[in-house]
């Protein structure tokens, strides 16, 4: 746990979190890690955030029950307070409206227009609180012909094009192994919120941020997106290969698999020297990256047997020695328990007294700020754990 005296970049900022599942909670967890007070509203009729039930695995409670702390929920909900409020009731709406009056930021992921009937939409709240930063996350955004369609990570990956690029050339389109569209949307939301707060602090003027899961996914097509826009040619699935660099792929070694990422012609020459294949670096068909791209299949067919004869450790040691980018393919045990991950604090243990182990182990925040480091102040909350205290703080009945 973090020392309470640690200076926090967003200390004093109040975030009202009306989001659930992953994109919005990713953004609010980031804001919470940076010191913001995040109040998460959860619907008692549904048992709270959908992901509380997305298990196993769950954190086991002291009484042996699984409780409501799924590993999925815990991935995006530390440094938050959980308040149970049913927007379908006057009491719930009044509570959330009172919290909005004290908030600097509201973030929600209801369907476009879904909060109008509760008087909690961006137009209503910005009229009441002109300095408010209000971020709406939806599948397709607040405008456009698809605005009313629901949005989930898998659908965004399909609609936005990334699945057409992912997977083996001879296989079906493939999603990324985690909810990357949701996570990246949460990243964009965080950046937009911080930019809007900067504007608010200079002018006193709040604003509405309209963020679509599919828009965000299209934005991070990066070089493959601009490859298509420049050439008009649809990219093809290449498995682990790179569309613009060769050799840049996963290769079978004698005892596993290894990554080789040759970034320039000098590296290619040193790579060939390690495998006693200097004739390949001298061959005009392979001497330059454009030539290697044009003759990709022929070159890779010659390289694969060279690497297959050697263990992973041998390949990594010798290519690292000549400064050719190379690396192993770790499973999560190897990755998260590595000396590097521990040195960088990429896993953290947080006190959770109600759990059997008394703590939960979570992924760390990658931001390393020299003056205002991220803090880990509170573990992901049980459903509604902070409702009574928050109501009392607002001068409302604590029952």
Which of helix, strand or coil describes residue 52?
A: helix
Phi, psi of 176, rounded to the nearest 5 degrees: -70, 150
Q: Residues 148, 150, 151, 155: what is their CA dihedral angle, to the nearest 10 degrees?
A: -110
**Residues recognised as catalytic:** 182
Q: How many CB atoms lie within 10 A of CB 299?
A: 20
Q: Which residues contact 393 (CB under 8 A, 6 or more apart)?
A: none
Q: How many CB atoms lie within 10 A of CB 349?
A: 14
DSSP string, 72-97: HHHTT-SS-EEEE--TTSHHHHHHHH
Nearest to 214 by CA among 266, 264, 162, 291: 162
Q: Are strands 81-84 and 37-42 parallel, antiparallel or unpaired?
A: parallel
CB 162 within 8 A of CB 221: yes
Q: Are strands 347-351 and 359-363 parallel, antiparallel or unpaired?
A: antiparallel
């Amino acid at each position: 746990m973090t020392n309470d005296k640690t200076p926090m970049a967003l200390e004093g900022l109040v975030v009202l979190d009306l989001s659930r599942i992953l994109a919005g909670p990713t953004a609010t967890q980031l804001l919470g890690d940076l010191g913001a007070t995040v109040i998460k509203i959860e619907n008692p009729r549904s048992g709270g955030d959908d992901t509380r039930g997305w298990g196993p695995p769950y954190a086991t409670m002291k009484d042996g029950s699984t409780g409501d702390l799924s590993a999925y929920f815990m991935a995006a909900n530390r440094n938050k307070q959980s308040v149970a409020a049913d927007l379908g009731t006057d009491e719930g709406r009044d509570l959330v409206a009172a919290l909005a009056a004290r908030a600097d930021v509201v973030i929600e992921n209801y369907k476009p227009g879904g909060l109008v009937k509760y008087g909690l939409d961006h137009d209503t709240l910005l009229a009441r609180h002109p300095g408010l930063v209000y971020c709406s996350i939806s599948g397709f955004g607040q405008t456009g012909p698809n605005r009313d369609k629901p949005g989930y990570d898998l659908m965004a990956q399909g609609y936005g094009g990334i699945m057409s690029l992912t997977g083996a050339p001879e296989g079906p389109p493939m999603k990324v192994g985690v909810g990357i569209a949701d996570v990246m949307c949460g990243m964009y939301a965080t950046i937009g919120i911080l930019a809007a707060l900067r504007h608010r602090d200079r002018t006193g003027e709040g604003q509405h941020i309209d963020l679509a899961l599919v828009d965000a996914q299209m934005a991070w097509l990066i070089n493959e997106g601009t490859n298509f826009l420049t050439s008009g040619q649809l990219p093809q699935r290449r498995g682990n290969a790179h569309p613009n660099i060769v050799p840049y792929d996963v290769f079978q070694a004698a005892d596993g698999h290894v990554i080789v990422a040759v970034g320039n012609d000098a590296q290619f020459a040193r790579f060939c020297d390690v495998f006693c294949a200097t004739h390949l670096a001298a061959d005009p068909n392979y001497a330059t990256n454009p030539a290697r791209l044009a003759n990709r299949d022929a070159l890779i067919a010659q390289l694969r047997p060279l690497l297959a004869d050697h263990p992973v450790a041998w390949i990594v040691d010798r290519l690292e020695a000549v400064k050719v980018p190379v690396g192993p393919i770790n499973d999560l045990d190897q990755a998260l328990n590595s000396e590097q991950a521990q040195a960088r604090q990429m896993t953290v243990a947080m006190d959770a007294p109600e759990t059997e182990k008394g703590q939960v182990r979570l992924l760390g925040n990658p931001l390393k700020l020299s003056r205002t480091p991220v803090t880990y102040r509170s573990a992901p909350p049980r459903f509604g754990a902070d409702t009574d205290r928050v109501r009392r703080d607002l001068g409302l009945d604590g029952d």
